[in-house]
Amino acid sequence: MISIRRGTAEDIDASAQLWIEAKGARLGGAEPDEALPSLLLHRLRDEGALLFIAEAESTSIVGTAIVFPARKPSNTGDIIKGRAHISLVAVKPAYWGRGIGRRLMQHILDELSRSDYQTAQLWVETVNERAVMLYLSLGFTPTGETKVNDYGELQQQYIHALSKPRT
C-alpha cells in the first residue's frame, strides 16, 4: 500500500538520495554530478519548501517531490504571487510503472488547489519522456521556454498548469 504524506526534516537526506538514485537510473546507471547532494539538500531546506513523501507500507520512501513559491528568474529572484514551483519529483526505480509518480503529483495538485496558489510550474528534461507524458496527462502545458538545468546536463522544457480551486 502506498501513502502520501508531508515530509519532515528527518526525510530530507533520504529524499535527496532517492532523487539521486532515480536520476542515475534515468541516465542508464551513470553517476550524477558529485555536487548534486549538496545542491539538493540546499533546495530541500529552502524556507517555505514543502516536502512530499510517498511511502510503501509506511516505512520505505519510494517517491518524493518538493514545492515552494515560484520565483523569477529561474527561482532566484522575486516571488511570483500565486504560483507554486514543483521540483525534485522522483520515484525509486524499483517502483517505476506503478502509478506512484501520478499519485504523488495528484496529491500535490490537490493540496495546491486548496491553497492560495492559482498556478503551478515545473521544469522537466525534454528527453525524460515518461515525466513529460505524466505532466501532460495531468493538465500541464509547455510554455515554450527552455534552459540548461542547474547541473549543466540536459535541456529542460518549462511546463505549467492552472490549479483549479475545489468547491
Q: Over the stretch 2-40, which tens digit does the pLDDT of each residue have?
A: 999 999 888 888 888 898 899 888 877 766 666 656 666
* Cell matching residue 141: 502545458
Q: Over the stretch 119-144, which tens digit does the pLDDT of each residue have?
A: 999 988 888 889 999 999 999 988 88
Calpha distance 9→51 (Å, rounded): 9
Q: What share of the chain is helix, strand, coil (3-state, %, to 5)?
A: 30, 35, 30
* Cell matching residue 101: 509518480
89 alpha carbon, distance to own chain's centre: 3
Contact 125, 160 (CB under 8 A): no
Q: Is 88 exposed, middle or buried (0-12, 13-18, 19+ CB in 10 A)?
A: buried
Calpha distance 125→117 (Å, rounded): 24
Q: Does a cis peptide bond (omega within 30 degrees of 0) precede residue 73? A: yes
Contact 63, 100 (CB under 8 A): yes
Q: Of 29 and 54, which is predicted with more confidence?
A: 54
